[in-house]
Chains A and B, each alone.
Chain A
């Protein structure tokens, strides 16, 4: 059943007690929490996602308010993943942001059947654009804008490449926006659904944008990689695109690789195949309109000698 089919009070009860198992692409995450913000966040952002109350779960996440002195004047939230606590307690109003971080963390730390690139991926007309994400690159802003203009959302944070097929798997989870980009997107895409702002997190102010229903419905469609685009947001810059030679693209991508060394030969082959099969660019921008226009004109990649 879909999360939207569960009545609000029932959802809160389910999350508090035995938890809810939510499917996001290849993974089922078992989420348990009595915290209202979590129930609200799940209801808002995961409304189109399939869920169930039983069955095998890949990850077990719990978020609670610890019963310590803090609960009186500065309530906290603590979390655990598979019964281990990877993060220190945080202010409880950050609970939903913590959930999203923990969902990412669970994949980061256990998943080696995919090559993981830190970056966003969107898809249109059968090809995926991967946006690797060094800090300050503005990839989430770009990703959110593209999604609001009809590109399918696969992921805004963790790009999963299958070593066997070379295809990219979708998670279709909420897009996380920071600080200025929240205003920018709310201006640019007022029709999208945004959650409440969460203040004073380690990354500043965060808000989430709900994934479009279509992206969620299609989460099991893997995508063929088409373009590798390294974004760089620069205030006042005009849109500038530089084609990237493949060797350089490899170097640029290497710092965005999360689990590459562990995958060994498979990782090397998956990565070289990915770069071989995509057109690679450095992309500097400040105007979202211009950026959207450029993306709209993207041609299918001129693939060199490969079989996908």
Chain B
């Protein structure tokens, strides 16, 4: 697991039912569900590691901050990386 993640060069547009994301470098467009969109926006604000993201998110949407959430967030981040929307911050 990388130390931290940062968002790629992105534009976003949020709607109640999802967040549309445009990657300025790859040219790809994605529609994320609101949770994934929120995670991405946190990383756009500032690079962070998985644990921090999980904490921030738990605070914002009133979820229990536990091991299950950590695991889900870590998986989500890997998925966002595979889509090219985030990248590991070099050590």
A and B touch in their complex, CB below 8 angstroms: yes
Contact surface of A with B, Cβ cutoff 8 Å:
245-248, 250-251, 254, 260-261, 264-265, 268-269, 272, 276
Per-residue interface assignment for chain B, residues 21 to 35, with 1 indicating a CB less than 8 Å from any chain A CB and 0 otherwise? 010100101010000
Residues in chain B near residue A248, CB distance under 8 A = 17-18
Supposing A247-B20, A250-B20 touch, asked if A264 and B27 sit within 8 A by C-beta, the answer is yes
CB of A97, distance to nearest CB on chain B (Å):
34
Q: Which residue of chain B lies nearest to A261 when distances are taken between CB atoms in the complex? A: B27
Query: Which residue of the partner chain B has the closest CB to A262?
Result: B27
Given the known inter-chain contacts A265-B24, A268-B22, A272-B20, please indicate yes or no for A246 contacting B15, CB distance below 8 A.
yes
Taking the complex as formed, is B11 at the interface, i.e. its CB lies under 8 A from any CB of chain A? Answer: yes
| Interface class of chain B by DSSP | strand
Instruction: Verify B11–A268 contact, CB threshold 8 A.
Output: yes
**18 contacts across the A-B interface (CB closer than 8 A):** A246-B18, A247-B15, A247-B16, A247-B18, A247-B19, A247-B31, A248-B18, A250-B15, A250-B20, A250-B31, A251-B31, A254-B29, A260-B29, A261-B27, A264-B24, A264-B27, A265-B11, A268-B29
Q: Chain B: residues with CB nearer than 8 A to chain A?
A: 11, 13, 15-20, 22, 24, 27, 29, 31
Q: How many pairs of residues, A versus B, come closer than 8 Å at their CB atoms?
A: 38
Chain A hits for B24, CB < 8 A: 264-265
B16 surroundings in chain A (CB, below 8 A): 245-247
Q: How far is the CB of B35 from chain A (nearest CB, A)?
A: 13
CB B42 to nearest CB in A, in angstroms, measures 19
Q: Contact check: which of A247, A254, A265, A276 meets B22 at CB < 8 Å?
A: A265
* Residues of chain A lying within 8 A (CB to CB) of residue B15: 245-247, 250
Q: Are A247 and B17 in contact, with the CB atoms below 8 A?
A: yes
Inter-subunit contact B22/A246 (CB<8 Å): no
Q: Which residues of B contact A251 (CB under 8 A)?
A: 31
List B contacts of A272 (CB < 8 A): 13, 20
CB distance from A42 to the nearest CB of B (A): 40
Cβ–Cβ < 8 Å partners of B13 in chain A: 272, 276
A245 to B15 Cα, complex, angstroms: 8
Contacts of B17 in A (CB 8 A): 245-248
